[in-house]
């Protein structure tokens, strides 16, 4: 595969489909540890048991071993570290960034319009997150997250740049629990629907037994 890359330029090649196939293969090997907030049970989840819209050509019935997945991860790392050409590195970083941003789109944005940021309700946020596990897109995004080694790569995604530009026009969110008009929030809890600083986030989300 490496010799092939030297003979192709990313612009003469469907880079999106190329990365899609690599990510799909890596996604098959991913095991997520998911914690149920209510029962507090941790379970291992795989794409094959969750996603219901996996295209047939992904051959979900065929397992992929960890060794093959690692070879693919190494291959992507070689491309992004400019081992081939800078064009290839940038094309692949763009694909990874776009795939991650599709997940953000799925969870927080109104699917009918990318320019409308819709604040989801608690039930909506929870159900959308649970719903997203059932999509192959979610698993592709997780595979991309595993491959991105610098948050700066997100700059390659147009959606990231749009959201960032919008964010920079808004004042920095403050911690709603401190409520002192100056402590900055570091997190937004989609369940409590509050912006919180690191300290308040930890304290307000402790187990009942530890409070």
Query: What is the binding site for Zn ion (CB under 5 A)?
Result: 175, 177-178, 189, 191-192, 197, 200
Tell me the closest approach of the beta carbon of residue 200 to Zn ion, in angstroms. 3
CB nearer to Zn ion: pick between 161 and 186 = 186
In whole angstroms, what is the distance from residue 141 CA to residue 51 CA?
13
In whole angstroms, what is the distance from residue 196 CA to residue 176 CA?
6
Tell me the closest approach of the beta carbon of residue 196 to Zn ion, in angstroms. 6
From the centroid of its chain, how far is CA 75? 20
Tell me the closest approach of the beta carbon of residue 119 to Zn ion, in angstroms. 15
CB nearer to Zn ion: pick between 144 and 195 = 195
Contact criterion met (CB below 8 Å) for 35 and 3? no
Tell me the closest approach of the beta carbon of residue 204 to Zn ion, in angstroms. 6
Tokens of 169: 């026009």
CB nearer to Zn ion: pick between 155 and 176 = 176
CB nearer to Zn ion: pick between 115 and 182 = 182
């Amino acid at each position: 595969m490496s010799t092939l890359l030297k003979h192709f330029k990313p612009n003469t090649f469907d880079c999106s489909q190329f990365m899609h196939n690599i990510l799909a293969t890596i996604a098959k090997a991913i095991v997520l540890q998911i914690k149920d907030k209510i029962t507090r049970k941790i379970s291992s989840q795989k794409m094959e048991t969750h996603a219901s819209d996996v295209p047939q050509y992904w051959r979900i019935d065929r397992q992929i071993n960890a060794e093959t997945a690692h070879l693919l991860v190494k291959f992507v790392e070689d491309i992004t570290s400019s081992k081939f050409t800078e064009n290839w590195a940038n094309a692949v970083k763009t694909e990874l960034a776009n795939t991650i941003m599709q997940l953000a789109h799925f969870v927080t944005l109104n699917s009918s319009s990318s320019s409308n940021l819709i604040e989801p309700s608690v039930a909506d946020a929870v159900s959308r997150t649970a719903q997203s596990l059932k999509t192959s897109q979610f698993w592709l995004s997780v595979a991309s997250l595993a491959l991105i080694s610098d948050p700066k790569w997100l700059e390659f995604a147009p959606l990231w740049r749009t959201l960032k530009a919008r964010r920079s026009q808004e004042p920095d969110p403050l911690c709603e629990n401190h409520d002192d008009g100056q402590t900055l929030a570091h997190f937004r809890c989609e369940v409590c629907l509050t912006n919180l600083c690191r300290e308040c986030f930890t304290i307000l989300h402790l187990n009942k037994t530890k409070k």
